[in-house]
Structure 1
Amino acid sequence: MSNKLLIIGASGHGKVIADIALKMDKWQEIAFLDDDQNLNTIMGLEVIGVSDMAYKVINKYDIFVGIGNNTIRKKILEKLESLGANIPILIHPSAVVGEKVSFGVGTVVMAGSVINCCTSIGKGCVINTGSTIDHDNKIGDFIHISPGAHLAGTVTVGQGTWLGISSVISNNISIASNCQIGAGAVVVKDITESGIYIGVPARRIK
């Protein structure tokens, strides 16, 4: 682990990542990379270059991908992994994490989230503000669980899925990979086909 952290992405999601990193108080230096070359400082932290610079400094920094889009985050994180980058896990100090909970690299757990015991969460995931994940969940890689989403016990979510804000997943449900679950949707039966799902109960629209 380095005492310096580099965050790829300086927009809204990246700023929340930086805020969590500051509150964790583990790094002496935190900086951003962003492809908008008009950016100089964000939240008092320097923007020191464009995104591709990360691949050239992997021995000097811990590197975190602060991009909300699942597909883009996956592409960058997997390249960083292949080059041997040290990719941390960020957990806001106010989050509640139970016993026997595991995380893959590059995952962030944001303020007010609750993750109960015996849950596994993959790499490159976003567990967003105030979301709850109950016991024995299996959350795949590169999943975004939006603010206020709630997952009951023994839920399985496939890779690359996006759970919208305030969505609700009932207990013992499986959701396929690469799904989008709309804001406020309620999932009460297994989703076996990738697509977009909305409503109460959730139904596939695309």
Structure 2
Amino acid sequence: MRNKLLIIGASGHGKVVADIALRMHKWQCIAFLDDNQNVKSPLGLEVIGRTSETNKYFQDYDIIVGIGNNATREKIQERLEIEGATIPTLIHPSAIIGEQVELAQGTVVMAGVVINCCTKIGKGCIINTSSSIDHDNRIDDYVHISPGAHLAGTVTVGKGTWLGIGSVVSNNVNITYGCKVGAGSVVVKDINETGTYLGVPARRA
């Protein structure tokens, strides 16, 4: 790990990523790349370039993608991996992480999160504020679990899926890739077809 951190994206999600990085006290310098020239100094941190300029910083910086959109985050992180960037995992100090939990590179765990034992979380995921993931879950790459979402035990969530704020997934449920589960929705049975799911219980929209 390097002593400098570069965050790609200086908007809302990127600022939360920066806040976590500041609280981790692992990097002496934290900065942003962003294409919006109107963004000046979020959280008092400098925007030092555009998102296309990452390869200039590989030698000196760890680099993480601070963009909320799953597909965009995947595209950028996959490019960074190919180009040889060092991509860390960020965990807010208030998060509770159980034994034998695996967190892959580029994943961000936010304030108040609980991840219980024997859960495996892929790369580039967002585990957002005060969400909980119980035992033996399998969360694939580039999933976004929104604030206040709760997953019971032995849940599988496919690549690129987004679980909306306050959504709930019952135990032993599998959700396929690329799904969107609406805010407050409750998933009580397997979702095998990609799509948008809403309601209590959640049904395909």
Please give the alpha-carbon distance, in whole angstroms, between the structure 2 residues aligned to 1:18 and 1:59: 20
Please give the alpha-carbon distance, in whole angstroms, between the structure 1 residues aligned to 2:59 and 2:107: 20
Please give the alpha-carbon distance, in whole angstroms, between the structure 1 residues aligned to 2:197 and 2:136: 24
Runs of 4+ in 1 over 2 A off after TM superposition: none
> Would the aligned equivalents of 1:117 and 1:134 in 2 still touch at CA under 8 Å?
yes
Please give the alpha-carbon distance, in whole angstroms, between the structure 2 residues aligned to 1:136 and 1:55: 37
Residue 11 of structure 1 pairs with residue 11 of structure 2: yes
> Would the aligned equivalents of 1:40 and 1:48 in 2 still touch at CA under 8 Å?
no
Q: Look up the match of 2:38.
A: 38
Q: Look up the match of 2:110.
A: 110
CA positional deviation for 1:191: 0.2
CA positional deviation for 1:41: 1.1
CA positional deviation for 1:33: 0.6
1:96-117 CA-to-partner distances (Å, cap 9, x unmatched) read 0000000110000000000000
Q: Look up the match of 1:195.
A: 195
Q: Look up the match of 1:20.
A: 20
Please show how residues 47-196 of structure 1 align to structure 2 within 5 Å. 47-196=47-196
Q: Aligned Cα RMSD in Å?
A: 0.5
> Would the aligned equivalents of 1:149 and 1:168 in 2 still touch at CA under 8 Å?
yes
**Structure 2: runs of 5 or more not aligned:** none
Give aligned pairs, total: 205
Please give the alpha-carbon distance, in whole angstroms, between the structure 2 residues aligned to 1:38 and 1:121: 35
CA positional deviation for 1:94: 0.1
Identity of aligned residues (%): 69
1:46-93 CA-to-partner distances (Å, cap 9, x unmatched) read 001111111222111100100000000000000000011000000000
1:110-160 CA-to-partner distances (Å, cap 9, x unmatched) read 000000000000000000000000000000000000000000000000000
1:151-204 CA-to-partner distances (Å, cap 9, x unmatched) read 000000000000000000000000000000000000000000000000000000
Q: Secondary structure at the match of 2:48?
A: coil
Q: Secondary structure at the match of 1:43?
A: helix
Q: Tell me the TM-score normalised to structure 2 length.
A: 0.99
**Structure 1: runs of 5 or more not aligned:** none
Residue 29 of structure 1 pairs with residue 29 of structure 2: yes
Please give the alpha-carbon distance, in whole angstroms, between the structure 2 residues aligned to 1:58 and 1:171: 41
The code of the aligned residue for 2:166 comes to S
Which moved further from structure 2: 49-58 or 183-192? 49-58
Q: Secondary structure at the match of 1:20?
A: helix
> Would the aligned equivalents of 1:149 and 1:166 in 2 still touch at CA under 8 Å?
yes
Please give the alpha-carbon distance, in whole angstroms, between the structure 2 residues aligned to 1:172 and 1:55: 42
